[in-house]
Structure 1
Amino acid sequence: MGTDIKPPTSFWIVAVFALFWSILEIYFSSFEIDLLEENLTVEEFDNMQSLPVWYIAVFMIALFSEIIGIFMLFIRQRIAAVFFAISLITLLFIEFYWLFIIDIKKTSVVFSVIIPLVVIAVAAFLYVYSKRAARKGWLK
């Protein structure tokens, strides 16, 4: 087999950041319903509460694939990129559904634009970074 290339300190910083980000996502997701209930009209909140079961399933796939991808980063496995790709694809689907089908645009700029863009940007960064790490030999 080839030599084991030791990843730089920045690799570990990104891995810790990813773990912290994932914990933040879980934390804020647990309070999102309460926050929305306070800021939405009754009709908008009822519409949001009637999310289909498949939406919740896709959200869980996104969350768990990101967590598994982070774990794979820490143990330096190439498959991390696959899990981050799954997470990115499912998050894109979720955020577009959230924005255009649920029509959250009327609620606030934070919920409708900023949060979805940040979530997608971080997911894309983790995917690209894991691909780069695999290409450089930091992942086995």
Structure 2
Amino acid sequence: MSNSTIQKLPIWFIVVSILALIWNAMGVMAYISQAYMTEEVLTQLPEADQQMYANLPSWYIGAFAVAVFAGTIGSLGLVIRKKWAFYVLLISLIAAIAQMCYLAFVLKMANAMTPMIIIVGIALVWLADYATKKGWLS
């Protein structure tokens, strides 16, 4: 589809896309905070948290990274109106589901954020698909 045939975006789509980018950028900051946690900061945590961080499997850390970085890139794709945003957001969602399932079912550490992260991920994948079908993305 050429740029001349792309439909005009409704303002709500632009707002939601920017909010999605901010949401996912906050996820990147959370990942960086965890990945680069200093020994000094780690020792200030309760013993149970220290053990949890020390025993996180590498696939979990990788899933966390993929979820937040792909989510950020996919959200940027929405902002700049690219069809590939759907696929990148889908990858992010799959990684987030793996990560949240580990937190909920293995570590038994689910909280209100656990389902919210998955719900937002599903909503962003749906939004990218909807925007593509409406001709808002090229």
Whether TM-score is above 0.5 comes out as: yes
TM-score, normalization: structure 1?
Answer: 0.81
1:111-130 equivalence runs, <5 A: 112-130=110-128
CA distance in 1, matches of 2:108, 2:18: 34
Segments of 5+ residues of structure 1 without an aligned counterpart are 105-111
Amino acid at match of 1:124: I
CA distance in 2, matches of 1:28, 1:56: 12
Shift of residue 49, structure 1, vs aligned partner: 2.3
1:29-44 equivalence runs, <5 A: 29=31, 30=33, 38=45, 42-43=47-48
**Matching of residue 75 in structure 1 with residue 80 in structure 2:** yes
Number of residue pairs the alignment of both structures matches: 130
1:101-140 equivalence runs, <5 A: 101-104=106-109, 112-140=110-138
Say whether the 8 Å CA contact 1:55–1:94 is kept in structure 2.
yes
- Cα pair distance change 1:79/1:91, threshold 3 Å: same
Say whether the 8 Å CA contact 2:86–2:128 is kept in structure 1.
yes
Shift of residue 127, structure 1, vs aligned partner: 0.6
Segments of 5+ residues of structure 2 without an aligned counterpart are none
Which of 11, 14, 17 is 2:13 aligned to?
11
Say whether the 8 Å CA contact 1:48–1:102 is kept in structure 2.
no
CA distance in 2, matches of 1:44, 1:65: 27
Amino acid at match of 1:94: Q
Match of 1:107 in 2: none
CA distance in 2, matches of 1:126, 1:23: 14
TM-score, normalization: structure 2?
Answer: 0.82
Amino acid at match of 2:13: F
Match of 1:108 in 2: none
Percent identical among aligned pairs is 30
Which of 21, 24, 30 is 2:23 aligned to?
21
Amino acid at match of 1:54: W
Say whether the 8 Å CA contact 2:93–2:121 is kept in structure 1.
yes
Say whether the 8 Å CA contact 2:78–2:85 is kept in structure 1.
yes
Amino acid at match of 2:122: A
Shift of residue 44, structure 1, vs aligned partner: 5.4
